[in-house]
Amino acid sequence: MQPTAPIDAIPVTPVVRTGIQPPSPEVGMIDVAVAAFGLTGVIMVSALVAGLLAGVAYVWFRKRHAVSTIEARGGNHNFLRY
């Protein structure tokens, strides 16, 4: 007597892999760090350059223009006399 499968059983189809891919290269911590800091580094450097340019422009502007009325009058603290 031969064993029979139940009527509602799902037939099994074997899977054969014909094209086996070579293993992918390992990714080290240095590779991950370089990839992570790539875009972040560009953003940080551009922010640093923008901050330095803003600081230089601020100092240059303040050296050319008087900050207060006292500086505009040449250091005269007596506002009643000119």
Q: Using CA atoms, how far apart are residues 55 and 48, in angstroms rounded to an integer? A: 11
pTM: 0.46
Q: Which of 50, 29, 49, 47 is nearest to 39 (CA)?
A: 47
Confirm if 66 and 72 have CB atoms less than 8 A apart.
Answer: yes
Supply the DSSP symbol for 24: P
**pLDDT tens figures, 6-64:** 677 777 888 887 777 888 888 888 888 888 888 888 899 999 999 999 999 999 988 88
Task: Say whether 16 sits in a helix, a strand or coil.
Answer: coil
Confirm if 67 and 73 have CB atoms less than 8 A apart.
Answer: no
